[in-house]
Amino acid sequence: MKMKGAKALIECLKKEGVEVIFGIPGGAVLPIFDYLYDDKDIRFILSRHEQGAGHMADGYARATGKVGVCIATSGPGATNLTTAIATAFMDSVPIVAITGQVMTTLVGNDAFQEADTTGITRPITKYNVLITKPEELIYEVKKAFYLAKAGRPGPVLIDIPVDIQRSEVDFKYPDKIDVRGYKPKYEGHPKQIQKAAEAISRSKRPIIYYGGGVIISGAYKELRELVRITEIPVTSTLMGLGAIEYDNPYYLGMLGMHGTVYSNRAIQNSDLIIAIGARFDDRVTGRLDKFAPHAKVIHIDIDPSSISKNVPVDIPIVGDCKNVLREINKLLKKKEYISLIPKKDRKEWWRRINEWKKEFPLKYKNDNKLRPQYIVERISELTKGEAIITTEVGQNQMWAAQFYKYKYPRQFLTSGGLGTMGYGLPSAIGAKVGRPEKVVIDIAGDGSIQMNIQELATATCNKIKVIVAVLNNSFLGMVRQWQELFFGKKYSAVWLQQRKKEYGECKKPEVDKRCGIVPDLVKIAESYGWEGIRVTRKDEVDSAIKKALSSKNSVLIDFWIEEEENVFPMVPAGRALDEMLCDLG
């Protein structure tokens, strides 16, 4: 069937099951928007900044497991998308970004709103392409969706010149696609699986260390089964939270820089690390040459380039976590493997871990001050651990990781790899669009929230109810924490309030400390059509959260927390995992 390129694009998206697109129009995508206007199947959500649209597509993808789609015009539209694309790239999130480009005859001419989009996004996309001929369009869209999802997922960008959107194409959507340069291995090698099962059975002090790959592959059931049948302690990366439920008796919580003391000690003292869908990131390993000195390593990952990248691996298994774990579990249930288990050593191993657990529990000073950890705990309690939590980046992110009780995969959405401030609000909007039945809460900081605060409007105008809980300490808190701990408390460029003398005298005694606060987040929320609630005391926390949960509108709660609260425990950068700082309070 003959149709215009722009129309064909939309038909392709429908064939891929796309139900929503996030984005902003502009000169180089006008033909696409002309057809979107008439389309009844695809919902379009207008963001207020392209970065927001990108994170919305990302949040949608993470919450649902589907491909998220965003669209922007050429030049600044495309460059505004780049932070969101890089965020998705680092966390292996499948999104397809569609950008308009100037006419093919003008490409390279410094035309109005021209940027070399494929050039700029080359290192931050899994694949990208500038369409140069109308007949390439349909195949490339099919390829984009295939590549975004296949193997280790990631963002794909299609750059479409505006004249190609206007030119006639023959619409015939291919059912299948074969990319000869991309053939991910989904099944693990049986020999390696056998070796792994044997090593697991024989190990005396094993630990399972898993990451986001478990969630991406949908392997959480297989992982829980592995833990149940082996009774091996299990620790999660930031990206893996929720795949193992918080109250699993074998779960040690998160590891790494702000992980629990006992999970880090367990890693350091283990004789076998079973790494599943994780990539030994520097925030996880601490100082590399002192990482788990006695441990052999089994590494299961679909991406061969993740294996032996940072930590040498003894038993590599390239494959999809779900398939590999299913096969390993089968073996581990057999008598011949069970008989290999050194039961005494395992018992002793758990005894040591339980001792560390008792000695260094994850805790905070629960006095009558308004502390962020308490707020996250209350959010967890009042949402019964059922909400989808997104975060910004920094202290708020770590408290959200430490103190919310996650039960499911795809429940905790955070920018782990790139660490993008401004991720939480737009990704919460995207998540709510994908999972409207869920309560979605962005746990934010007062620094981060302002990096994409314009998206408050997107929530209002599209009737998307989300909650933002700002842990407001008037600081760029994590940077301040580092300055406090490692730079002699020189708070350089982290204070977000006005200087008091410039602001003049303050009237209200109870808010005296915060008299120079900029902006007033409650007023901002209200002006965007949200409800705003300010909480300055501990006894107001519950009622504010309850009000936010029951309200029809989106609600921002501005919690004025203790300004100099720190995230503990902490492995200082460049130290080994067992050199943790703990809260002295």
Partner 1 sequence: MTQRHTISVLVENRPGVLAKIAGLFSARGFNIDSLAVGETEVSDVSRMTIVVRGDDRVLEQVEKQLNKLPDVIKVSDFVGKEYVERDLVLIRVDANKSTRSEIIEIVDIFRAKIVDVARDSLIIEMTGDEEKIQALIKLLKVYGIREMVRTGIVAMARGKKD
Binders of partner 1: how many residues, by CB under 8 A? 22
User: Would you say 401 and 345 are in contact if contact means Cβ atoms under 8 Å apart?
Assistant: no
Q: Is 129 in the site for partner 1 (CB under 8 A)?
A: yes
Among 40, 176, 180, 343, binds partner 1 (CB under 8 A): 180
Q: Is 101 in the site for partner 1 (CB under 8 A)?
A: no
Q: Return the percent helix, strand and coil in the chain, to nearest 5.
A: 45, 15, 40
Minimum distance of partner 1 from residue 134's CB (angstroms): 16
Q: Is 179 in the site for partner 1 (CB under 8 A)?
A: yes
Omega of the bond prior to 519 within 30 degrees of 0, cis?
yes
Pairing label, strands 2-4, 168-170: antiparallel
Contact window for partner 1 (CB under 8 A) among 75-83, 300-308, 547-555, 564-572: 300-308
Q: Is 305 in the site for partner 1 (CB under 8 A)?
A: yes
Q: Is 574 in the site for partner 1 (CB under 8 A)?
A: no
Q: Is 128 in the site for partner 1 (CB under 8 A)?
A: yes
Q: Which is nearer to partner 1, 305 or 527 (CB)?
A: 305
Q: Is 108 in the site for partner 1 (CB under 8 A)?
A: no
3-state SS assignment for residue 453: helix
Q: Which is nearer to partner 1, 180 or 508 (CB)?
A: 180
Q: Which is nearer to partner 1, 418 or 451 (CB)?
A: 418
Contacts of 343 (CB under 8 A, 6+ apart): none
Contact window for partner 1 (CB under 8 A) among 6-14, 178-186, 401-409, 414-422: 178-186
Tokens (6 digits) for 114 = 């021209």
Q: Is 181 in the site for partner 1 (CB under 8 A)?
A: yes
Q: Is 118 in the site for partner 1 (CB under 8 A)?
A: yes
Q: Which is nearer to partner 1, 178 or 539 (CB)?
A: 178
The interface mask with partner 1, positions 208-247, x = CB under 8 A, is ----------------------------------------
d(CA 85, CA 54): 7
The interface mask with partner 1, positions 308-337, x = CB under 8 A, is xx----------------------------
Omega of the bond prior to 572 within 30 degrees of 0, cis?
no
Q: Is 147 in the site for partner 1 (CB under 8 A)?
A: yes
Tokens (6 digits) for 214 = 């478990």
Q: Which is nearer to partner 1, 129 or 466 (CB)?
A: 129
Q: Which is nearer to partner 1, 156 or 243 (CB)?
A: 156
Minimum distance of partner 1 from residue 93's CB (angstroms): 16
Q: Is 130 in the site for partner 1 (CB under 8 A)?
A: yes
Bridge partners, 210 (sequence order)? 236, 276
Q: Which is nearer to partner 1, 127 or 475 (CB)?
A: 127
Minimum distance of partner 1 from residue 306's CB (angstroms): 9
- Amino acid 331 reads L
Contacts of 9 (CB under 8 A, 6+ apart): 32, 98, 137, 141, 160, 165
Minimum distance of partner 1 from residue 575's CB (angstroms): 24
Among 44, 139, 173, 182, binds partner 1 (CB under 8 A): 182
Bridge partners, 251 (sequence order)? 234
Q: Which is nearer to partner 1, 35 or 145 (CB)?
A: 145
Alpha helices in 372-413 (DSSP H): 372-382, 395-403
Q: Is 122 in the site for partner 1 (CB under 8 A)?
A: yes
Among 303, 314, 542, 578, binds partner 1 (CB under 8 A): 303
Q: Which is nearer to partner 1, 79 or 308 (CB)?
A: 308
Q: Is 126 in the site for partner 1 (CB under 8 A)?
A: yes
User: Would you say 466 and 554 are in contact if contact means Cβ atoms under 8 Å apart?
Assistant: yes
Burial grade of 582 (CB within 10 A; 0-12, 13-18, 19 or more): exposed
Burial 148-173 (b: 16+ CB within 10 A, else e): bbbbbbbbbbbbbbbbbbebebebee
**Beta strands of 255-354 (E only): which ranges?**
272-276, 296-301, 315-318
Q: Is 92 in the site for partner 1 (CB under 8 A)?
A: no
Q: Is 76 in the site for partner 1 (CB under 8 A)?
A: no
Minimum distance of partner 1 from residue 130's CB (angstroms): 7
Alpha helices in 404-499 (DSSP H): 424-434, 456-461, 477-486
d(CA 452, CA 114): 24
Q: Is 105 in the site for partner 1 (CB under 8 A)?
A: no
Contacts of 155 (CB under 8 A, 6+ apart): 85, 88, 89, 93, 94, 95, 96, 97, 124, 125, 126, 148
d(CA 157, CA 102): 16
Contact window for partner 1 (CB under 8 A) among 193-201, 243-251, 303-311, 519-527: 303-311
Alpha helices in 47-136 (DSSP H): 50-64, 76-90, 117-121
Minimum distance of partner 1 from residue 403's CB (angstroms): 37
Minimum distance of partner 1 from residue 181's CB (angstroms): 5
Bridge partners, 21 (sequence order)? 44
The interface mask with partner 1, positions 260-299, x = CB under 8 A, is ----------------------------------------
Q: Which is nearer to partner 1, 126 or 465 (CB)?
A: 126
3-state SS assignment for residue 387: coil
Minimum distance of partner 1 from residue 303's CB (angstroms): 7
Closest CA to 444 of 375, 541, 504: 375
Q: Which is nearer to partner 1, 302 or 370 (CB)?
A: 302
List contacts with partner 1 (CB under 8 A): 118-119, 122-123, 126-130, 132, 143, 147, 152, 179-182, 303-305, 308-309
